[in-house]
Structure 1
Amino acid sequence: MQWGTPQPESPWPHDMVIRVNDDPHHLTLLLFVRQAWSMAGDLNIPPLSPVPDCGHSRMPESADASTWEKRWKTSWDQAWSWYQIEDPTHHPTPAELRESGDASQGLNPLIPPFWTQRYEWEGLDREAYQAWDRSLIPKFPHDAEPRSLQELIPAWESGIDTVIVLPYEGYFAHRLSRRHLVVSAATRNTPEHYSRALRENAL
């Protein structure tokens, strides 16, 4: 979804365009995998809301639990690093390019990395994931940005033009990069919380 093209006499700045990714599949799928296989509990990731019914998902026996967890953490890092190369204003330094641990290397700048591109649906109940994913979309308001316009404008002026919404429980806001703000669905659903997130991250 993209917000722009204001109506005449609207307070919305004529050149302000805000993208809202309210269904980032490459991230929600990874959150589903983590929930289904009960792993990576040491990471500071908020509880999910709604909690998915993982159906018949079960960690595959083709590798041990520690291997799957390592693969998942690598995929999680790459999924977030993709936003660096998706950002045309991001220019890696020579030191960054030499860094062998740079999770963004080898990623397609147009298409985010998907867990299933490498591991397919092994050990996952595809229908259960799709049912959970469908349950997320109707809960996202379509007027959140106009409602919080007073706080959105300075956030946009500070560089934010993309809001990424995840099904986290409670208040959550994190400025991932100059352009990207990550919020929970609960935050975007509540005008005062969304305004707070925009205000506190307009740095």
Structure 2
Amino acid sequence: MRFSNPLARNPWPHDMAITVEDHPFPLNLLLFIRQAWQLEVDADIPKLLPQPARGNSKAPDSASLPEWGTRWQTAWDRAWTWYQIADSCRPQYRTQESMRQMQETMRQVMQPGQPLHRSVPPLWTADYEWDGIDQEAFNTWDQSLAPKIPTDVERQNLPSLIPAWESGMDTIIALPYAGYFAQRISRRHLAVSAATRNNPESYRQALQVSWADEVVRAPDVRAAFGL
């Protein structure tokens, strides 16, 4: 989002652009799989809100449950690593040629075993399709996550948002977690629970979470590209 109102009273900096991912599909799908398959993985994940119904979801018999847990953990780590290497400006596909390039990119990325792509987040279904996932149960839960937050919540928190943006943050990722959650996963990205973003006091606290250069894992990012 960007406010371009030229009026002098507009407190939103004219060059400040903030992206809010209030429905991160790849992450939501992984959260559903972990819950539905009852995977015991080493991931510090808060309780989900709302809780998904598993339906007929069940880990496929093609691998053991511990093996699925390992695969899930790898996919979860890749999903977060992607934010460290993602393009700051997503491409705009407006011409016929750019649309063709986009379609070719999507075909490539949706093949199993592909390295991370700067513009397209990794998807579990690219490697494992929808095996073991009750799509109706997932879609019902996923649709229930539609944002119920006022669209001007960032504007209401400008005194905290502007310093966060000045420190390099330009993207906020809202996750279906219960209670307070805030983690600066990269200089550009702040992950929060939807509950945190929906509470002015909690959101102000979350926007003050800082990012330290020493936590950047550059070798991991290079490995994500196969370098």
Give the TM-score range, shorter chain. Answer: 0.7 to 0.9
Of residues 145, 164, 168 in structure 1, which corresponds to 2:173? 164
Paired residues, number: 186
Q: Which moved more, 1:71-80 or 1:129-138?
A: 129-138
The separation in 1 between residues aligned to 2:209 and 2:69, in whole angstroms, is 33
Question: TM-score of the superposition, structure 2-length normalised?
Answer: 0.78
Partner of 1:92 in structure 2?
A: none
* TM alignment of 1:192-203, pairs within 5 A: 192-201=201-210
Can you list the C-alpha shifts for 1:56-88, whole angstroms capped at 9, x where unaligned? 111111111111111101100110111111045
| Amino acid paired to 1:84 | Q
- In the TM superposition, residue 106 of structure 1 has moved relative to its aligned partner by 1.6
The separation in 2 between residues aligned to 1:78 and 1:200, in whole angstroms, is 23
Tell me the percent identity.
Answer: 55
- Structure 1 residue runs of 5 or longer lacking an equivalent are 90-104
The separation in 1 between residues aligned to 2:74 and 2:23, in whole angstroms, is 21
The separation in 1 between residues aligned to 2:70 and 2:129, in whole angstroms, is 17
Q: Is the 8 A contact 1:141 1:188 kept in 2?
A: no
- Structure 2 residue runs of 5 or longer lacking an equivalent are 90-113, 213-227
| Amino acid paired to 1:147 | Q
- In the TM superposition, residue 172 of structure 1 has moved relative to its aligned partner by 0.4
Can you list the C-alpha shifts for 1:9-54, whole angstroms capped at 9, x where unaligned? 2100010000001111110000000000111343211110111112
Q: Which moved more, 1:16-25 or 1:105-114?
A: 105-114
Calculate the aligned-residue CA RMSD, in Å. Answer: 1.7
The separation in 1 between residues aligned to 2:209 and 2:86, in whole angstroms, is 24
- In the TM superposition, residue 118 of structure 1 has moved relative to its aligned partner by 0.9
The separation in 2 between residues aligned to 1:6 and 1:197, in whole angstroms, is 26
Q: Is the 8 A contact 1:169 1:186 kept in 2?
A: yes
* TM alignment of 1:18-57, pairs within 5 A: 18-57=18-57
Question: TM-score of the superposition, structure 1-length normalised?
Answer: 0.87
Partner of 2:75 in structure 1?
A: 75
The separation in 1 between residues aligned to 2:165 and 2:88, in whole angstroms, is 16
Q: Cα distance 1:139–1:88, how it changes in 2: closer, same or farther (>3 A)?
A: closer
Partner of 1:141 in structure 2?
A: 150
